[in-house]
Amino acid sequence: MNILGIETSCDETGVAVYDPDRGLLAEALFSQIEIHKPFGGVVPELASRDHAARLAPMIRDVLGQAGLEVADLEAIAYTGGPGLIGALMVGGSLAASMGLALGIPALPVHHMEAHLLAAMLEHEPPEFPFLALLVSGGHTQLVHARDHGDYTTVGATLDDAAGEAFDKVARLLALPYPGGPALAALAESGNPVAFDLPRPLKNKGLDLSFSGLKTAVRLLIEKHRRDAENDLPANLRADVAASFQAAVVDTLANKCQLAIEASGLERLVIAGGVGANRSLRDRLKALADQHGFRVYYPRPSLCTDNGAMIAYAGWRRLGEAARGTPRIVARPRWPLDDLRPVAAEV
Ligand code: KG4
Ligand code: ZN
């Protein structure tokens, strides 16, 4: 069965074809980093326009790579939310149009469910039930995943997402957008115990908070800034980056440990862009070895946004798909605990 996956929720256009028997047949990804870089963050209108310009040619290329014609597709999965409304509408409109024209289902997929299932595309996929740590630019959640589509959020950030904190601190350090990978690279040469930054809500339940940590970093930078100049000495910048990263990694590891203990689950699945962070991966692996649970990570390219995870999640939802006329679903906010898609009011 050939399933086309389309991801356009934010600043990456992702397209892939997945076949449950043969695996991932072809994929393509376009990152809009260069478009948004001058603005220091994603500009929603520019994101939508670029998805609109790029999506159809990318679908044609991916089908070509897979040696398929459009008529060989049997279902289309697209990100129905959460995300930027205009960006979601681009993917949803094209997916529903193709579904109508081809007479095949067009399935709206929950972006965070797709992240949560990305590890299923690896050679040794996790079995249900498991605890998922979803750490992306817009979300930070701990999810008890009992089965496909049966998810309960057991902890979430009260303010900033982990990726957002990385991006904001990177900005404070004048690192280029997107900040997470740049900050992680700078942290490599810094001392993670140089500064004693807060570990917010440590050992206090399963919710998280990153905005106080971000403020602590801002105050630290202001304190060490060379008088009227707007910069920090190079070694201090690296130490700030390393100390901040250590605080985030410590906090996430603490919450994972508490959630594993509270739930009795034996598997931890990492998902979302911050899951590509090397320091976090190493730390959670060490924690798992120490406490006797197993940790699963998708490869870094499956942690960040991509079309393959959307195609996979769409396949898992195919059985329950309404076979009626494809609808355009675009939900900027969509809780993971209730996956029923609601049509956009258009
Ligand atoms: O999942 P994702 O690609 O998009 C969203 O759905 O948000 O996550 C993007 C986020 C950004 O905040 C980015 O800075 C962060 O993931 N990120 C990282 C790393 N790679 C991406 N954060 C820390 N270390 C990394 N290596
Ligand atoms: Zn994402």
Ligand with the closest atom to the CA of 135: 1
Q: Which fold has domain 128-297?
A: Nucleotidyltransferase; domain 5 (3.30.420)
**Residue 272 CA, closest ligand 1 atom number:** 1
Ligand with the closest atom to the CA of 161: 1
Indicate the length of the chain as a whole number: 346
CA distance linking residue 190 with residue 167, whole number of Å: 18
Phi, psi of 135 (to 5 degrees): -130, 100
Pick from 184, 181, 173, 180: nearest CA to 220: 173
Query: Could you tell which of 32, 115, 134, 166 is best to mutate to test the pocket of ligand 1, judged by most ligand atoms within 8 Å of the CB?
Result: 166
Asked whether the beta carbons of 42 and 11 are under 8 A apart, the reply is yes
Asked whether the beta carbons of 12 and 30 are under 8 A apart, the reply is yes
In the numeric block, which tokens belong to residue 126?
A: 């996790």
In the numeric block, which tokens belong to residue 133?
A: 């740590």
pLDDT tens for each residue of the chain, 346 residues long: 999 999 999 999 999 999 999 999 999 999 999 999 999 889 999 999 999 999 999 999 999 999 999 999 999 999 999 999 999 999 999 999 999 999 999 999 999 999 999 999 999 999 999 999 999 998 999 999 999 999 999 999 999 999 999 999 999 999 988 899 999 999 999 999 999 999 999 999 999 999 999 999 999 999 888 654 567 888 899 999 999 999 999 999 999 999 999 999 999 999 999 999 999 999 999 999 999 999 999 999 999 999 999 999 999 988 765 566 778 889 999 989 888 776 544 3
Alpha carbon of 166 to ligand 1 centroid (Å) = 8
Half-sphere exposure of 124 (CA within 13 A, CB side): 6
Class of 3-116+302-338 in CATH: alpha beta
Sign of CA dihedral 245, 12, 92, 1: negative
In the prediction, which pLDDT does 232 show?
A: 83
**Residue 280 CA, closest ligand 1 atom number:** 24
Q: In what order do the strands lie in the sheet with 3-7?
A: 23-31, 12-19, 3-7, 75-81, 106-110
Domains 3-116+302-338 and 128-297 agree in fold: yes
Contacts of 157 (CB under 8 A, 6+ apart): 139, 140, 141, 207, 208, 209, 210
Cβ neighbours around 186 below 10 Å, total: 22
Angle in degrees, CA 60, 65, 68, rounded to 5:
70
Query: Could you tell which of 304, 310, 336 is best to mutate to test the pocket of ligand 1, judged by most ligand atoms within 8 Å of the CB?
Result: 304
Write down the pTM of the prediction. Answer: 0.92
Sequence ranges of the domains in the chain: 3-116+302-338, 128-297
CA distance linking residue 4 with residue 16, whole number of Å: 6
- 223-231: long-range contacts at Cβ-Cβ below 8 A with a sequence spacing of 24 or more? 230/174, 231/174
Alpha carbon of 83 to ligand 2 centroid (Å) = 9
Ligand 1, pocket residues at CB < 6 Å: 10, 136-138, 163, 166-167, 178-181, 184, 272-274, 276-277, 304-305
